[in-house]
Amino acid sequence: MLTELTFSPLAEIETELLAVLAADSQAAKGAEAKPAPVLLTADAAVTAAAAAVLASGEYKAGANETVLLHAPAGLKAGRLLIVGLGKLPKVKAQGVRNAAGTAVRYTKPRGIKELAFVLPEISSEALPYAVVARAAVEGAILGDFDADTYKSDRKDASVGRFRLACPEAVDKAALEVAFNEGVIVGESQNLTRSLVNEPGNKLTPTVLGQRAAEMAQAVGLGCDVYSTGKLDELKMGAFWAVSQGSAEPPALIVLRYEPEGVTDGPVLGLVGKGITFDTGGISIKSADNMEKMKYDMAGGAAMIGAMRAIALLKPKVRVIAVVCAAENMPSGSAQKPGDVQTAMSIAPDKPGKTIEIINTDAEGRLVLADGITYAKQLGATHLIDAATLTAAIGVALGLVNAGVFSNDDETFARFEEALKVSGEKFWRMPLGDEYADQIKSDIGDIKNTGGRHGGACTAAEFLHVFAEDTPWIHLDIAGTALIDDARPYIAKGPSGVAMRSIVEWVRSY
């Protein structure tokens, strides 16, 4: 999708569709209070064209509510689409991001190939134009993605051209910077979504490594992709244990961002779970919905997308990403419940932790254990991992918030600030000795599940064993990485969750 900025008067923009935002300005509450929709633009021609429908009472400007006007008087646009943001005092950048996605998704099934989206005139100290502009272009790019990659009769319904129409009285330089950042972040999130969308027979661990290497070459990242020999050399017993049941070899993907002139300061380690298909192994899953287990590499895909954005945004901080990719399959060579595996050691003179395997379907924490240790060995001073780790996080938080755990309040505070920019929903979950006690093993150091209760917390404590005292954040995105039903602003399928927040967390350094 071609993306552009324009500062032309709205009445003069020639386009198939002009999208403008509205909000409900009614502050009163109660049964008698009626919505009072207002357009978020001062343009007289647009205001006049929309006056009748706003006055009719039919349109209430609810969040992502739309109404379409054909051949609007006084405009060169062929159509005028009004998209709602909900209550005016509650409007945030995330609402604008969703509204832009809604406008794009409205056009796609109607064969409309280009639109202009009016930047809402709601700028304030808390919500500057630059922030809103970035959110708008991100939302448009995300809205253009569809998961129908392999349909034999697939028709290209992509929007060919998206223009963000801005008021003239703005800081144009700041707006251009923000707009370009939004394009980078939106396209990187769609890269994440496209990887997650790939079926397991098309995206094996080896192919995921190839895709990561191609991306790295395109944007100037360092990249190494290793397989079984490297796992043996590093004594990654936990990672290898997961992969040993599959005919497909594992892939250890390492991406490096080293900005020119930066030789000291923190080194941020991004670690992603890359299980390209998860049957559960010997502890096999139910057949119901197993086809969705191609998404079990969403954490790894988020890290690959984040590294693309980081390479293009160029923050002044060193970053290493480690993605541990494997299939978890049942076979004669697969690990079994009751086996004991030895994880990678941080140093040759320090023994690796021994792990009793209780359930082979708790495999993500095994690959992450070795990935976290390797990131530390490569010099990471701060860690963030992402994984579709536990069904328990969806039980705890529903399909709205993803879970975040951290052993360091300052590191978490940076992530919490990042959420204000990314607009993503994460909820901090607890760690503690009581959860750690649940994963103590009688035969080894720890076991890979802690029982039914607090499953997301015991999984996080398992990873905490390997993060140790290194400032660390764990993102459990199992409940939000896949969208089961289409929303007005985004298609059914992979969400690309966590990528935006990881990027902003990195930029905070």
Active-site positions read 285, 365
**251-257 vs 222-226, strand pairing mode:** antiparallel
Residues whose CB falls within 8 Å of the CB of residue 60, separated by 6 or more in sequence, listed in order: 24, 35, 37, 84
Distance between CA 450 and CA 268 in Å, rounded?
A: 29
Write down how long the chain is. Answer: 509
Within 8 A by CB and 6+ apart from 73, the residues are 48, 49
The C-alpha angle 128, 132, 133, rounded to 5 degrees, equals 115
Report the C-alpha dihedral over residues 278, 284, 285, 286, rounded to 10 degrees: 140
Instruction: Could you list the beta-strand ranges (E) of 1-152.
Output: 2-6, 17-24, 37-39, 66-70, 79-87, 114-118
User: What are the DSSP calls for 254-302, one per residue?
Assistant: EEEE--TT--SS-EEEEEEEEEEEE--TTSPPPSTTGGGGGGGGHHHHH
DSSP label at residue 169:
S
Q: How many CB atoms lie within 10 A of CB 166?
A: 23
- CA–CA gap between residue 350 and residue 207 (Å, rounded): 34
Task: Look up residue 86 and give its DSSP letter.
Answer: E
Angle ∠(195,196,202) on CA atoms, nearest 5: 65
Q: Residue 150 burial by CB count (10 A; 0-12/13-18/19+): exposed, middle or buried?
A: exposed
CA-based torsion, 402, 407, 409, 413: positive or negative: negative
Region label for 436, one of left (φ > 0), alpha (ψ between -120 and 50) or beta (otherwise): alpha
SS3 129: helix
Nearest Cα residue to 373 out of 504, 497, 252, 227:
252
456 contact partners, CB below 8 Å, separation of at least 6: 389, 390, 392, 393, 396, 403, 429, 476
Tokens 């060193």, residue located: 318
- Dihedral, CA atoms, 193, 194, 197, 203, nearest 10 degrees? -130
Closest to 188 in 3D by CA, of 315, 102, 304, 93: 304
Token output for 138? 């991100």
